[in-house]
Amino acid sequence: MAKTNFGNLLKSLRIKKELSLRDVCKLTEYDPSNWSKIERGKMFPPSNIVILNKWAKVLGLKGKEIQDFTDQAIVAQGMIPKEILSEKDIVEHLPAFFRTLRNKKPNKEEIERMIRLIEKI
């Protein structure tokens, strides 16, 4: 599921930027076949942060969006227990949780959503 979620995100960002699969692969210097497999949830995204940051920049992401993008790639790799990944509400809040762990202050809305989620559990 997380693999598919990241694949959907990757594809939507590429389309939003109006890039064909081949165009984005030329810009990122990544294999088109593997990119397609990631978009379709058939392959995990790379774990290399340098590669993920390059992708994020080519896809037009900035600041916090880049970190959220790389966090979602990490989640897609299955580095988080499956019982957590099976909870859609939890998965949606993982980027804010990761920022908090990195001592980066979440915004008020993110804090309120995390509180509601914790209360629900």
Class of residue 14 by CB neighbours under 10 A (exposed 0-12, middle 13-18, buried 19+):
buried
Q: At what angle do helices 88-101 and 64-76 cross, to 10 degrees?
A: 120
Rounded Cα distance between 80 and 111, Å, is: 21
Q: Report which of residues 14 and 110 the model is more confident about.
A: 14
Domains of the chain with bracketed CATH: 2-120 (1.10.260.40)
Rounded Cα distance between 70 and 105, Å, is: 18
**E-strand stretches of 32-83:** none
Which pLDDT tens digit goes with each residue over 47-76? 898 999 999 999 999 988 998 898 889 888
- Residue 107 clears pLDDT 80, i.e. is over it: no
